[in-house]
Amino acid sequence: MLSPDPETAVLRHRSATSPSPGPTVAGELPAAGRDGKDAALVQAMFDRVAPRYDLANAALSFGQDAHWRRVTAGAARPADAHVLDVAAGPGNVAVELVRQGADEVVALDLSFNMLAEGARRGHDRITWVNGDAQALPFPDESFDAVTISFGLRNVPDPQLALREFARVTRPGGRVVVCEFANPTSPAFRTIYRRYLVGALPQFARVVSSSAPAYRYLADSILAWPDRASIGGWLSTAGFREVMVKDLAFGIVAVHRGFRA
């Protein structure tokens, strides 16, 4: 089993009712643009979202989110692998990695409430670790693959996080980044943007435990760089053969690269 730094909190089957030891900033949202994102505000926001996270995702993606995570897990070639799932939330990708044959998965997240949700569900081959994508508490080259699904957009310095992914991935290992993207068709892009800024925050009021977080979601998707930029970041971080696969008419892009 991979051992994280002893100073890092490792949660195992924590009670879902445990209070968050992290900062609580009532209702305040982090900046949605690429600059000035505050990790403490991001953590507090996801702590608030955690209780109904899965329900909201399924509703707001019209049930597509499970398929996106299956593709993400598969792209990591998880069979018999030690995989790190960064920004794991309640562990949806981690569970999928195990289902697709991963030997062991470390699910790391900044939000204690997200980790507690995941750990409450219990899973033998998943270890829950509290930590920051920008400073991973693991030795060099300790994983066969690293995945991040709908997490990189929330990290204050995504390129620093990608360098960390490269550091902890063994040569030849995989990194998979699943993230929202702009649809490639101009007509669909217009409809989608209307959904993001108009309908989505309204739906979120019904299905989410923190509707304002979905305003941040819309703004952060619109501020996120295009596919070519993310591909360039992966190459610069030390990954080769970088490819991208579009899902749902380009609403979601899954990048994969191999550690040089």
Ligand X SMILES: C[S@@+](CC[C@H](N)C(=O)[O-])C[C@H]1O[C@@H](n2cnc3c(N)ncnc32)[C@H](O)[C@@H]1O
What the block records as the tokens of 75 is 């792209």
Given the rule CB under 6 A, which of 96-104, 108-116, 162-170, 237-245 is the region that contacts ligand X? 108-116
Residue nearest to ligand X as judged by C-beta position:
89
Window 64-83: residues binding ligand X (CB under 6 A): 69
Tell me: does residue 42 bind ligand X (CB under 6 A). yes
Other beta carbons within 10 Å of 200: 18
Tell me: does residue 144 bind ligand X (CB under 6 A). no
Compare residues 92 and 210 and give the one whose CB is closer to ligand X: 92
In this chain, which of 92, 208, 210, 220 binds ligand X, going by CB under 6 A? 92
Angle at 209 between CA 68 and CA 60, to 5 degrees: 35
Positive/negative CA dihedral, 147, 150, 152, 156: negative
Q: Is 117 within 8 Å of 148 (Cβ atoms)?
A: no
Other beta carbons within 10 Å of 13: 13
Compare residues 7 and 172 and give the one whose CB is closer to ligand X: 7
Residue appearing with tokens 């507090």? 44
Tell me: does residue 251 bind ligand X (CB under 6 A). no
Size, binding site for ligand X by CB under 6 A: 23
Compare residues 42 and 254 and give the one whose CB is closer to ligand X: 42
Q: Is 244 within 8 Å of 226 (Cβ atoms)?
A: no
Given the rule CB under 6 A, which of 148-156, 162-170, 198-206, 230-238 is the region that contacts ligand X? 148-156
Tell me: does residue 175 bind ligand X (CB under 6 A). no
Residue appearing with tokens 């959904």? 195
In this chain, which of 78, 137, 151, 231 binds ligand X, going by CB under 6 A? 151
Tell me: does residue 154 bind ligand X (CB under 6 A). yes
Residues shown for the chain:
260
> By CB neighbour count within 10 A (0-12 exposed, 13-18 middle, 19+ buried), where does 244 fall?
middle
Residues that bind ligand X (CB under 6 A): 39, 42-43, 46, 69, 86-89, 92-93, 109-111, 114, 132-134, 149-151, 154-155
